[in-house]
């Protein structure tokens, strides 16, 4: 599809539930908004009207808007290939946008490199290859702190408090750990920079329901410390249960947006995306 500037024409975000913090009800985005809404502009992390693709290829993101409030959990769900990971990469600066912008705490960071975004407080756990398997658990955590010049030992202890099993296995190669434990390493590594925003792409992929519940509990704990969570999840139902805000992404556009509860209660969302 061709893409026009969402700020100049009839495209872009028209999501009233994003537009008004505490806005009521579920809204099916119809992409006919004319101005960026105040609520979106003020959110702690905003990817607004994002359009872009890989190389010279067609757009994968078609004007979607994703926002996360400070200390809250925002969850992106949607079918395979919808562009969820691509949206995460765009927000983290791994994909150049053709349209739209990224803002963090009121600052436009659209042009910043991923490294510069890390320095601004962003951390990203990608969907694949998110640990160094041959390195020990503790070395993985140390690698996460590569930008820091101060003493990191207290942060490592905090991560061991959050994930006690990692302390037990600190000397073991991370690749030898179970799937759930490896995800703990990945999350722990990301936390080593003491981020204000933690982005997680399918943190519970391939783990059992019990391990998933445990990971979600830890993620809630992280958010309670004031860290903003933006998470993509395949386990849509469970993820929306802990989500302050949920986004259903379809073909790189907002299909449904609401609080987690609203999306879970919406018959259309249930039927199409939550298995009834
Ligand atoms: N590096 C890449 N180069 C070219 N095309 C890509 C690349 N990564 C993803 N794509 C394409 O972009 C589209 C969206 O992929 P993306 O990985 O963002 O989807 P997703 O919603 O995260 O899917 P999944 O649920 O399977 O993780 C797909 O058509 C995919 O083939
Ligand atoms: Mg993905």
Tell me the average confidence (pLDDT) per consecutive run of 10 residues in the chain, 276 residues long. 38 38 42 44 92 96 96 97 98 97 97 96 94 97 90 96 98 97 97 97 93 96 97 96 96 95 95 87
If you take atom 5 of ligand 1, which residue's CA is the nearest one?
54
Nearest CA-CA partner of 229 in 65, 47, 74: 74
The CA–CA distances, whole Å, from 138 to 34, 105, 145, 178 equal: 49, 31, 11, 16
A 10 A CB-CB count for 80 gives 6
CA atoms within 13 A on the CB side of 203: 30
Q: Which residues line ligand 1 (CB under 6 A)?
A: 54, 60, 78, 80-86, 127
- What does the alpha-carbon distance between residue 104 and residue 121 come to, in Å, rounded to a whole number? 9
If you take atom 3 of ligand 1, which residue's CA is the nearest one?
54
Burial 180-210 (b: 16+ CB within 10 A, else e): bbbbbbbbbbbbbbebbbbbbbbbbeebeee
Looking at all shown ligands, the one closest to residue 77's CA atom is: 1
Out of 53, 84, 236, give the residue to mutate to test ligand 1, the one with the largest number of ligand atoms within 8 Å of its CB: 84
* Per-residue pLDDT, 26: 43
- Which residues are bridge partners to 232 per DSSP? 76, 201
- What does the alpha-carbon distance between residue 111 and residue 67 come to, in Å, rounded to a whole number? 18
Ligand 2 centre distance from Cα of residue 138 (Å) = 27
CA atoms within 13 A on the CB side of 9: 7
Nearest CA-CA partner of 71 in 267, 221, 260: 221
- What does the alpha-carbon distance between residue 37 and residue 41 come to, in Å, rounded to a whole number? 6
If you take atom 30 of ligand 1, which residue's CA is the nearest one?
81
Nearest CA-CA partner of 107 in 41, 63, 61, 50: 41
- What does the alpha-carbon distance between residue 42 and residue 40 come to, in Å, rounded to a whole number? 5
CA 127 from chain centre, in angstroms, equals 11
Looking at all shown ligands, the one closest to residue 127's CA atom is: 2
- What does the alpha-carbon distance between residue 139 and residue 105 come to, in Å, rounded to a whole number? 31
* Per-residue pLDDT, 266: 95
* Per-residue pLDDT, 42: 82
* Per-residue pLDDT, 227: 98
The token pair that represents 119 in the structure block? 């320095």
* Per-residue pLDDT, 40: 67
Ligand 2 centre distance from Cα of residue 74 (Å) = 16
Ligand 2 centre distance from Cα of residue 77 (Å) = 10
CA atoms within 13 A on the CB side of 12: 19
- What does the alpha-carbon distance between residue 35 and residue 104 come to, in Å, rounded to a whole number? 19
Ligand 1 centre distance from Cα of residue 124 (Å) = 17
């Amino acid at each position: 599809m061709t893409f026009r500037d969402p700020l100049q024409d009839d495209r872009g975000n028209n999501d009233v539930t994003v537009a008004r913090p505490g806005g009521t009800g579920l809204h099916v985005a119809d992409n006919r908004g004319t101005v960026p809404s105040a609520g979106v502009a003020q959110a702690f992390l905003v990817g607004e009207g994002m359009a872009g693709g890989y190389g010279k290829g067609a757009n994968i993101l078609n004007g979607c808007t994703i926002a996360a409030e400070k200390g809250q959990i925002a969850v992106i769900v949607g079918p395979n290939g919808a562009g969820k990971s691509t949206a995460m990469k765009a927000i983290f600066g791994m994909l150049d946008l053709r349209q739209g912008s990224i803002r963090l705490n009121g600052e436009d960071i659209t042009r910043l490199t991923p490294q510069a975004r890390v320095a601004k407080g962003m951390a990203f756990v990608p969907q694949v290859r998110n640990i160094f398997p041959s390195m020990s658990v503790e070395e993985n955590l140390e690698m996460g702190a590569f930008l820091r010049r101060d003493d990191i030992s207290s942060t490592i202890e905090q991560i061991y408090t959050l994930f006690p099993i990692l302390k037990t296995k600190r000397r073991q190669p991370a690749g030898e750990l179970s799937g759930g434990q490896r995800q703990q390493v990945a999350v722990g590594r990301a936390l080593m920079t003491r981020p204000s925003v933690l982005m997680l792409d399918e943190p519970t992929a391939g783990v059992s329901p019990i391990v998933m519940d445990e990971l979600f509990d830890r993620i809630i704990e992280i958010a309670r410390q004031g860290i903003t969570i933006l998470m993509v999840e395949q386990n849509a139902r469970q993820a929306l249960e802990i989500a302050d805000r949920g986004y259903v992404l379809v073909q790189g556009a907002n299909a449904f947006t609401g609080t987690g509860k609203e999306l879970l209660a919406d018959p259309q969302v249930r039927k199409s995306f939550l298995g009834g």
